[in-house]
Amino acid sequence: MIDSELIWNASLSELERGYMEKDDLYICICCGKSFEKGIIYPEDDVLYETKKYVRLHIEKKHGSAFEYLISLDKSFTGLSEIQSNLLKLFYQGKSDKEVQQELGSGSTSTIRNHRFVLKEKERQARVFLAIMELLRAKDKHAPAVLKVQAGGSKDERYRITETEKDKVLAKYFPSGTRGPLKSFSMREKQKLIILNELSKRFEPDRIYSEKEVNEILSAAFEDYALLRRYLIEYGFMNRQPDGSEYWLAGPAAEQEGNAVDRRQELKLMAKEVKTQAGVFQIRNTKNGKLYVDSTPNLKTINGQEFSLEMGSHMCKSLQQEWSEMGKENFVIEVLETVKEKEGVQLDIKDTLKKLKEKWLKELQPFGDRGYN
């Protein structure tokens, strides 16, 4: 049986791996089976640590994450039957001629054209994902149809009476609404009531870091990342595209009256900050490997994390380890900024080139030492 919740809640890198990490567990996205960290698992007279065993489990039970995902129906993949069949054959490493012979139709040039069409679909999907990610922080009107309403909704599916709300809150918050959440497995309508209540734990007109949001939500439920994702998706909270700032945006904020338009305020703040050029590094805290680069605007380095999360970073070796190990094992740090002298016109491009060369020589982020 397909667990659609696991699939929809998984990040791109988790879908590629076939498993997700939650506290002390690794969970197979394909079947939902969980594996406890710190346990040694025996298999065919060989002992495996948890992460390697999860990968072995996926290989033995599901073939690969690709094979599982490509087997899902169109409601999950958006692919036609012919597109799915083509991708399966491409995954097997078959040439255009071999694919044409296998399908028994068309010509090699037709198969080659299909490859281009699928590649174009991939490019469009990346752009669409980026657009939707950027939209989340801006579109405060989109979730309006899902806001909790006490008896006045035109859509009967989301019409909630005070009695119904109290009953749901009593069931899922047995120790009171400021206590822990019993479960988050419930119907859509009940989720809305719970999310509305959780949003009240945040102060209106205040900016939170992701760490602060996690701390507040972890007091309510162990899977705080799931709650955070739902609060964003359902419009109770907004965030910056890079995840650096979160703020209340849903019904709880509106009940407090006229909240400050944070989008405009953040835009003005950004204009007031002077552009600063410099060199930065992305450091793997597990193995110490480095990636060094420069930028004419250090305010944009958070875009590096966004590219890595999207799986589109230009440095393939860095992208691979980021996808395998997760963003929690990497930090982005500024190494040096360009110092401008009064009355002296700098060639920023040339200055950055020399500055980067200096740090590359000093840190040597090559081979086993880095990703450059």
Q: What is the pLDDT along the chain (372 residues), one digit of tens a residue?
A: 566 778 888 888 899 999 998 878 899 999 888 898 888 888 888 888 999 999 999 999 999 999 999 998 887 888 877 788 889 999 999 888 898 888 876 678 778 878 888 888 888 888 888 888 788 767 655 543 344 444 333 344 445 677 888 899 999 999 998 999 988 877 777 888 898 899 899 988 789 998 999 999 999 998 888 898 888 877 788 888 777 888 887 444 443 333 334 444 444 444 444 568 899 999 999 999 999 999 888 877 777 876 687 677 889 999 999 988 988 899 999 999 988 776 667 788 889 999 999 999 999 999 999 999
| 3-state SS record for 100-119 | HHHHCCCCHHHHHHHHHHHH
Residues 26 and 51 sit within 8 Å (Cβ to Cβ)? yes
Q: Which tokens hold the place of 124?
A: 């469009």
Task: Note every long-range contact of 341-348, with CB atoms under 8 Å and residues 24 or more positions apart, other chains counting.
Answer: 348/277, 348/296
The label of the residue with tokens 């594996």 reads 35
Nearest Cα to 143, choosing from 81, 196, 207, 220? 196
pTM to 2 decimal places: 0.40
Q: Where are the domain boundaries for CATH 3.40.1440.10 in the chain?
A: 274-336+347-369
Q: What would the CATH number be for the domain defined by 274-336+347-369?
A: 3.40.1440.10
Residues 277 and 337 sit within 8 Å (Cβ to Cβ)? yes
